[in-house]
Amino acid sequence: MLQRSSLLRRSKTGPQQQLSLGRRLLRDRVLLLFALPGCALIIVFHYVPLLGNVIAFKDYQPYLGITSSDWSGWANFSVIFNGDPAFLRALKNTLILTCLQSVFVFPAPILLALLLNSLFSERIKRIAQSILYLPHFMSWVIVVALFQQMLGGSGLLNNYLRSHDLATINIIGNSELFHVLLTSQIIWKDTGWATILFLAALSQIDSQLYEAASVDGASRMKQLWHVTLPGLRGIIILLFILRLGDSLTVGFEQIILQQQAVGRDVSEVLDTYVYNNGVLGGAWGVAAAVGLVKGVVGVILVLTANKVAHIFGEQGVYQR
Amino acid sequence: MSTKIVQGVPMPGWPMRIFKGLVLLVFCAVVIIPFVGVISTSVAPNKQINESGGLVLFPKSVNFAAYESLFAGGVVTQALFVSIFVTVIGTVLSLTVSCLLAYALARPSFTAGRPILLIVLFSMLFSPGIIPTYLTVKGVGLLDSIWALIVPTMISAFNVVVLRAFFMNLPNEITESARIDGAGELKTFTYIVLPLSKAVLSVIGLFYAVAYWNAFFSALLYLNDSKLWPLQLVLRTYVINDTQLGSAELGTELLPPQASIQMAILVVSIVPILIIYPFLQRHFAKGVLTGAVKG
């Protein structure tokens, strides 16, 4: 009897468990070969640079290389802890932009999705979607160039104003409007595309809920508040967590492309600070230190926000 | 009083519907007008461009002088070849590498699958930063090589996860029966799995292609030699920074006005995306959603 049950158990775990690890790897050698190139690329261009962050703790000299450069402890971090003005300027601009983006960029696709979803003509909806998704696939270089052509000194808007003897508006290259310009560029580029996830969530809402609500006499606004928005809550929280994790990343290519025109006072953000001081300025250690702190803070923000989402009973990005 | 009911929701009144239509129309116009303006200006006659002071929305006649000067063999022609090379070769390599990895990870019996999957997933959580990435690319000797535009960004963990999810959803019986018929992993992969995955392959391939075509910063970061510049960098130098394009750069004596040359460069970098856009569109909602749900 005992013998039989142990036999049974063995047959349940299958032949896989009986092979040694080496044997199993040998059996899977083709699959290992399949996984090798991709895995190697991720390790070399993701995990190796991750280790390369040690130069934040070194007095990195390019001619010595990473391993031979001297350790310098936390010296590179002094710009952060002692509040170097250039660093504080970058931090300030980053925070301003992140606030602008959370307030204006984040809700825009939700509103647009609600608008698209409330259309009754499927055909108009599809055409509108085709048009509105398009800017997402344009590079930042193209978007910035298009904005110049529209709003620049000799752009469409100002030419129109000039030909009608009206005062021209200086938008491109105007440092006072730069943050607004950046925000509106992001809205132009990505709002349409970002509606995809919200539209998907909207289509998941059971239409019986609307029927029940309207039978109970709920107005359209009430339905929006009590049926539609609760249906979107999960995806909104998920995307907000992701946004929070990225809150120190406020658009790098976009800003680098326009930095010359407006000067660093309004355009320097953490990412451009790292690039300008490290790659261009040669202060490798300091730049890496700032980049490292930015990355660590980002991870902490995501994990915290996710935790908060769990406390409020939402799914969040991942579950434990 | 009877209101029409669609899906349980009463039809809104006409004022509301007209208001919504107008809002949508404004949104769409804001997206479309820049493209129309750029394309029109690139083919508009010189006189009209000079009169308008810059951008033209409705060209009075059409001429392709600007394009002729771009394709005369100068800087822009060169950049176009670089961009096409990077996009085509890059996409093929990216798809190959990503599919192979995703297929291996999709096999439940794969011994090393668990740790490799974790390597892929964790790479999405933390971005290594500009400086260490630059030093790594420099360390592998890719600096000032056209491969710097391809190799560092060849694989996207997100795309691998999407592909894996798709491969795992394929009915197990098909691959099982191929195996019983004596097909090895490579045969199963190329003759059974890949043909069944055309839809997802085209979406992911197009996403990779768009990313390669649009890549600007990697070129700025890794390439000093302007001979290797892709179109996006040329676009920045001659359109955004407004550097004059002379006959020396264009390789032709024929010189249309700067505005129309600049707009023609823009059009050349936009058109490939416009061409693949309808194909992308047919699939992308599906592709993005699989990723979002399974990722």
Give the residue on A whose Cα is nearest the Cα of B136: A49
Give the whole-number percent of chain B exceeding pLDDT 70: 90
Which residue out of A17, A134, A236 would a mutagenesis test of the B interface target, given it has the greatest number of B Cβ atoms within 10 Å?
A: A134
Question: Taking Cα atoms as reference points, which of B147, B157, B221 lies closest to residue A43?
Answer: B157
Q: What is the 3-state secondary structure (H, E, C) of chain A?
A: CHHHHHHHHHHHHCHHHHCCHHHHHHHCHHHHHHHHHHHHHHHHHHHHHHHHHHHHHEECCCCCHHHHCEECCCHHHHHHHCCCHHHHHHHHHHHHHHHHHHHHHCCHHHHHHHHHHCCCCHHHHHHHHHHHHHHHHCCHHHHHHHHHHHHCCCCHHHHHHHHCCCCCCCCCCCHHHHHHHHHHHHHHHHHHHHHHHHHHHHHHCCHHHHHHHHHCCCCHHHHHHHHHHHHHHHHHHHHHHHHHHCCCCCCHHHHHHHHHHHCHHHHCCHHHHHHHHHHHCCCHHHHHHHHHHHHHHHHHHHHHHHHHHHHCCCCCCCCC
- Residues in B closer than 8 angstroms to A120, CB to CB, are 6, 11
A147: tokens are 């904005």
A194: tokens are 């970002």
Q: Name the residue range of residue B242's domain.
A: 68-294
CA distance B100 to A38: 8
B/e letters for A132-157, b = 16+ CB within 10 Å, e = fewer, are bbbbbbbbbbbbbbbbbbbbbbebbe
Whether the pLDDT of residue B201 is over 50: the answer is yes
Q: Do B288 and A197 touch (CB under 8 A)?
A: yes
- Cβ pair B225, B183 in contact under 8 A: no
- Of B39, B63, B87, which residue is a domain's last? B63
Whether the pLDDT of residue B292 is over 70: the answer is no
CA distance A317 to B121: 13
A80-311 fold: MetI-like fold (1.10.3720)
Whether the pLDDT of residue A10 is over 80: the answer is no
Kindly report the number of other CB atoms within 10 A of residue B123's CB atom.
21
Q: Note the pLDDT tens digit of each residue in A219-241.
A: 888 888 888 999 898 889 888 88
Q: Do A34 and B101 touch (CB under 8 A)?
A: yes
Under the banding of pLDDT at 50, 70 and 90, the label for residue A319 is low
- A53 and B CB contact within 8 Å: yes
State residue B109's pLDDT score: 84
Give the residue, A21 or B142, on which the prediction is more confident.
Answer: B142
State residue B25's pLDDT score: 94
Minimal CA separation from A4 to chain B, in Å: 27
State residue B288's pLDDT score: 52
Question: Taking Cα atoms as reference points, which of B292, B18, B48, B26 lies closest to residue B161?
Answer: B292
Whether the pLDDT of residue B290 is over 60: the answer is no
**What interhelical angle do A108-117 and A178-204 show, nearest 10?**
40
Q: Note the pLDDT tens digit of each residue in B253-271.
A: 667 777 888 899 999 999 9
Q: Do A274 and B129 touch (CB under 8 A)?
A: yes
- Cβ pair B74, B246 in contact under 8 A: no
Same domain, B43 and B178: no
Q: Give the nearest partner residue to B136 out of A32, A49, A256, using CB atoms.
A: A49
Q: Residue range B107-129: average pLDDT?
A: 88
Same domain, B24 and B84: no
**What is the residue extent of each domain of chain A?**
21-71, 80-311
Q: Give the nearest partner residue to B112 out of A32, A147, A200, using CB atoms.
A: A32
State residue A112's pLDDT score: 95
Between the ranges A73-82, B86-95, B225-234, B281-290, where is the mean pLDDT highest? B86-95
Mean pLDDT of all residues belonging to chain A? 87
Same domain, B201 and B275: yes
- A284 and B CB contact within 8 Å: yes
Which residue out of B50, B131, B149, B286 would a mutagenesis test of the A interface target, given it has the greatest number of A Cβ atoms within 10 Å?
A: B131
CA distance B133 to B128: 7
CA distance A109 to A254: 20
Same domain, B159 and B196: yes
State residue A12's pLDDT score: 43
Which residue out of A28, A42, A146 would a mutagenesis test of the B interface target, given it has the greatest number of B Cβ atoms within 10 Å?
A: A42
- Residues in B closer than 8 angstroms to A220, CB to CB, are 9-10, 12
Q: Give the nearest partner residue to A118 out of B20, B184, B288, using CB atoms.
A: B20
Q: Note the pLDDT tens digit of each residue in B212-244.
A: 999 999 999 999 888 899 999 999 988 888 887
Q: Helix (H, G, I), strand (E, B), or coil: what is residue B6?
A: strand
Would the CA dihedral through A304, A307, A311, A313 be positive or negative?
positive
Whether the pLDDT of residue A291 is over 90: the answer is yes
Longest dimension (CA), chain B: 77
State residue A318's pLDDT score: 67
Over its C-alpha atoms, chain B yields an Rg (Å, rounded) of: 25
Q: Which of residues 150-189 of A touch B (CB under 8 A)?
A: 150, 152, 154-156, 159, 162-163, 188
- A302 and B CB contact within 8 Å: yes
Q: How many CB pairs under 8 A join A and B?
A: 267
- Residues in B closer than 8 angstroms to A223, CB to CB, are 9
- Residues in B closer than 8 angstroms to A30, CB to CB, are 184-186
Q: Give the nearest partner residue to A288 out of B7, B129, B153, using CB atoms.
A: B129
Under the banding of pLDDT at 50, 70 and 90, the label for residue A3 is very low
Minimal CA separation from A46 to chain B, in Å: 6
CA distance A72 to A56: 9
Mean pLDDT of all residues belonging to chain B? 86
Q: Do A115 and B292 touch (CB under 8 A)?
A: no
Q: What is the pTM of this model?
A: 0.88
Same domain, B127 and B182: yes
Q: Do A274 and B131 touch (CB under 8 A)?
A: yes
Question: Taking Cα atoms as reference points, which of A80, A62, A79 lies closest to residue B131?
Answer: A62
Give the residue, A9 or A28, on which the prediction is more confident.
Answer: A28
State residue B254's pLDDT score: 64
Q: Give the nearest partner residue to B105 out of A35, A145, A192, using CB atoms.
A: A35
Q: Which residues touch B189 (CB under 8 Å, ≥6 apart)? A: A34, B99, B100, B103
Q: Helix (H, G, I), strand (E, B), or coil: what is residue B10?
A: strand
Q: Residue range B191-214: average pLDDT?
A: 90
Q: Residue range A104-130: average pLDDT?
A: 90
- A316 and B CB contact within 8 Å: no
B/e letters for B59-79, b = 16+ CB within 10 Å, e = fewer, are beeeeebbbebbbeebbbebb
Q: Which of residues 71-110 of A touch B (CB under 8 A)?
A: none
Q: Which ipTM was obtained for this model?
A: 0.88
CA distance A194 to A108: 9
State residue A5's pLDDT score: 43
Question: For residue B6, what are the β-bridge partners?
Answer: B9
Same domain, B26 and B139: no
Same domain, B279 and B155: yes
State residue A271's pLDDT score: 94
Q: Do B136 and A44 touch (CB under 8 A)?
A: yes
What's the structural domain count of chain B? 2
- A61 and B CB contact within 8 Å: no
Q: Residue range A34-44: average pLDDT?
A: 96
CATH number of the domain bearing residue B232: 1.10.3720.10
Q: Do A128 and B12 touch (CB under 8 A)?
A: no
Q: Do A39 and B217 touch (CB under 8 A)?
A: no
Q: Residue range B92-115: average pLDDT?
A: 93
Q: Helix (H, G, I), strand (E, B), or coil: what is residue B9?
A: strand
Question: For residue A70, what are the β-bridge partners?
Answer: A59
Q: Do A25 and B111 touch (CB under 8 A)?
A: yes
Same domain, B42 and B112: no
Q: Residue range B176-197: average pLDDT?
A: 88
For residue B149, CA distances in Å to B144, B206, B216 come to: 10, 17, 9
Q: Give the nearest partner residue to A115 out of B20, B53, B102, using CB atoms.
A: B20
Minimal CA separation from A45 to chain B, in Å: 6
State residue B9's pLDDT score: 52
B128: tokens are 């290594």
- A297 and B CB contact within 8 Å: no
Burial class (CB in 10 A: 0-12, 13-18, 19+), B171: exposed
Q: Do A47 and B270 touch (CB under 8 A)?
A: no
Same domain, B93 and B52: no
Q: Helix (H, G, I), strand (E, B), or coil: what is residue B216?
A: coil
Q: Residue range A15-30: average pLDDT?
A: 78
- Cβ pair B116, B152 in contact under 8 A: no
CA B34 to chain centre: 19
A252: tokens are 């790098």
- Cβ pair B19, A118 in contact under 8 A: no
Q: Helix (H, G, I), strand (E, B), or coil: what is residue B54?
A: coil
Minimal CA separation from A216 to chain B, in Å: 12
Under the banding of pLDDT at 50, 70 and 90, the label for residue A269 is very high
Pick the range with the lowest mean pLDDT from A15-19, A52-56, A175-179: A15-19
Q: Do B24 and A119 touch (CB under 8 A)?
A: yes
State residue A310's pLDDT score: 85
Give the residue, B13 or A49, on which the prediction is more confident.
Answer: A49
Give the residue on B whose Cα is nearest the Cα of A290: B129
Pick the range with the lowest mean pLDDT from A112-116, A216-220, B112-116, B206-210: A216-220
Q: Do B132 and A37 touch (CB under 8 A)?
A: no
State residue B99's pLDDT score: 96
- Cβ pair B150, B212 in contact under 8 A: yes
Q: Give the nearest partner residue to B154 out of A41, A118, A223, using CB atoms.
A: A41
